[in-house]
Structure 1
Amino acid sequence: MSIKEKEILGFQSLIASALAFSLMTVCVKKLEGRIPVAELIFIRSAISLLITRFLMKQLKVNPWGTNKKLLLIRGVMGTGALFCIFKALMLLPLSTATVIQYSYPTFTAISAKLFLGEKIRKRILVAIMMGWVGITLVVHPLRGESIGGGQNLFAIGIALMGAVLTALAYVSVRKLSKKEHPLVIVHYFPLVSAPICLPFLFSEGVIPLGMEWLWLLGIGLFTQLGQVWITKGLSLLPAAQASSINYTQVIFATIWGMLFFSEFLNIYVVTGAICVFGATLISLSARPDLELVIK
């Protein structure tokens, strides 16, 4: 496969992943916070585990991998990120929680530089900065929410922590994807998260009712699809470039917020969305053989 073909496939995989994850956030918001975060993650993990093990059996993939230590670390980081993301989605509007979560490309670029030695190309740096501008505009400030309240400050902190843990998880995936099968990497996520959530399930779990079962199924299915596609994308593109492409989830979240949760569009959201889309285009055009790099 040529470099250009890898870039196109990586871009397509990451856009598909962003769409899947955005639909997962809709399912979480639809539950309106009645079901505890740990229970959501446990159910999501159970669904993911069943699907992944079935696929690995069909493809005859060894489920345990080789770098078990890093696979476990990736699982812990991903689980922590999910706890933060789901909690933030319960406390904040969909678009607000998403745009704060999508401060993670900056943390990804820095982490990839520190832990993987990946160089940050100038065009990627511009894409990240443009994405931050878009996030700031969409928030403006927090879409009319009062940021002075203790609950909002707590929610902002939770969302930012989710962004940091997401970045560390993505860097782990980037490292693992050089030798591990994508399904093995996806497999370790629920393998770690399910045991972590189990004690919380016994102490605070509730029985889902009616349509809640559908939203729970959606969380599991869309997260599984998102994990597979993002793992594929991260195996084909550098971490900083891949994460800046994922800014497109902000656009999806804005659309779903309008359609499903009456989060109205305004000039700040439109301008921010344009910045995010521009960041994606710049990132896609950042060819390794053409770009100067920042040492």
Structure 2
Amino acid sequence: MNLKKAILFMVLSTIAFTGMNGLLKYLTAYSGPQLVFFRSLGSLFFTFGFLLSKGIPILGTNRKLLIIRGVFGSTSMLLFFIAVHYMPIGSAVALRYIAPIFAAVFAILILKEHVRPIQWLFFVLSFMGVLVLKGFDNSIPLIGLVLVLLASVFSGLVYVVIRKIGASEHPVVIVNYFMCIAMIVGGVLSIFDWTTPNLIDVLLLLSLGIFGYFGQIFMTKAFQMGETNVIAPIKYVEVVFAILVGVGFLGETYTIWSFVGIAMIISGLLLNLLFKQWLLKRKQN
């Protein structure tokens, strides 16, 4: 493993996703479905190009699960993109990160996995952070909170479906299905709320897909090269970057309660991650 390169790739991944999130907030003159359409279109150029150049079958083998993953992922993306219209980008990104909690619940119900009692305490800490954000931060309306929480629910379902798919499919095949379905969903829904972009906005809209694709690639490389317990926490730096972009470039403001709530959410998730890694090492020893 090359830890320095792994850390570098994860930092690059967070920067790429921050670029995508910043553009999302900047482009809120366009509807959520339209943002989903262009974000997907911008990524498909890379996913199709990669699969064709490597001779990897585009349709894959677990087509039913791939379609389900694409539907769940597209729904999560659409809900999150709409939620960004209603709240500061840093708060939206932090709230989206509670998806692993829903994933744990679905893993219990669907995959029959076990969650330790102390992990539920960590999850409660994160949910208390959500309550602090909503209860004390007037910049987060109820509709925005509901949308981003629903996005996290569907994102949690995505984690479970990917676990079911396992290593039977190439990661880019999974992403390609996701982007194809998202493009169709976004394109159809955009018919009812379409704003014709100028040339500059077209380039910015397509850049959503470019940032998203490279964010995913860099993150995958990081996890391939470094230990999860070292690399995964760096992912949460994306929240800090999102806040900096929001304040520095988008004119957003945050209260002290915003930072308290965000810190509680991330702390609960980090504690759960570290505990799982401790359990894994304990079993290996």
Q: 1:273–1:82: structure 2 CA closer, same or farther, 3 Å change rule? A: closer
Report the equivalent of 2:110. Answer: 115
Give the drift of 1:182: 0.7
Q: Separation in 2 of the partners of 1:230 and 1:117?
A: 28
Q: 1:12–1:100: structure 2 CA closer, same or farther, 3 Å change rule? A: same
Specify the code of the residue in structure 2 equivalent to 1:23: G
Q: Which of 255, 264, 272 is the matching residue for 2:244?
A: 255
Q: Separation in 2 of the partners of 1:80 and 1:140?
A: 23
Specify the code of the residue in structure 1 equivalent to 2:138: G
Q: 1:142–1:75: structure 2 CA closer, same or farther, 3 Å change rule? A: farther
Q: Which of 199, 219, 224 is the matching residue for 2:213?
A: 224
Give the drift of 1:75: 0.3
Report the equivalent of 1:208. Answer: 197
Q: Separation in 2 of the partners of 1:223 and 1:111?
A: 26
1:85 aligns with 2:76: no
1:72 aligns with 2:67: yes
Task: Write out per-residue CA displacement over residues 199-240 of structure 1, whole angstroms, 9 at most, x where no aligned residue.
Answer: 333443222125423421321112222344556778999x9x
Specify the code of the residue in structure 1 equivalent to 2:29: R
Q: Which of 44, 47, 64 is the matching residue for 1:49?
A: 44
Q: Separation in 1 of the partners of 2:7 and 2:129?
A: 20
Unaligned runs of 5+ in 1: none
Task: Write out per-residue CA displacement over residues 139-167 of structure 1, whole angstroms, 9 at most, x where no aligned residue.
Answer: 2536333x7xxxx3222221211111111
1:180 aligns with 2:192: no
Give the drift of 1:176: 2.1
Q: Separation in 2 of the partners of 1:7 and 1:186?
A: 26
Specify the code of the residue in structure 1 equivalent to 2:24: V
Task: Write out per-residue CA displacement over residues 146-201 of structure 1, whole angstroms, 9 at most, x where no aligned residue.
Answer: x7xxxx32222212111111111122223324221111111101221222233333
TM-score, with length taken from structure 2? 0.80
- Is this contact kept in 1: 2:48–2:176, CA < 8 A? yes
Specify the code of the residue in structure 2 equivalent to 1:257: G
Task: Write out per-residue CA displacement over residues 31-78 of structure 1, whole angstroms, 9 at most, x where no aligned residue.
Answer: 1x3222222211222221111011112222222211110000000001
Count of aligned pairs: 281
Larger mean Cα displacement after TM superposition, 162-171 or 198-207:
198-207
Give the drift of 1:18: 4.4
Report the equivalent of 1:26. Answer: 22
Give the drift of 1:133: 4.4
Identity %: 28
Unaligned runs of 5+ in 2: none
Report the equivalent of 2:137. Answer: 143
Superposition RMSD in Å:
3.7
TM-score, with length taken from structure 1? 0.77
Q: Which of 234, 254, 257 is the matching residue for 1:268?
A: 257
Larger mean Cα displacement after TM superposition, 35-44 or 81-90:
35-44
- Is this contact kept in 2: 1:247–1:280, CA < 8 A? no
Report the equivalent of 2:155. Answer: 166
Report the equivalent of 1:61. Answer: 56
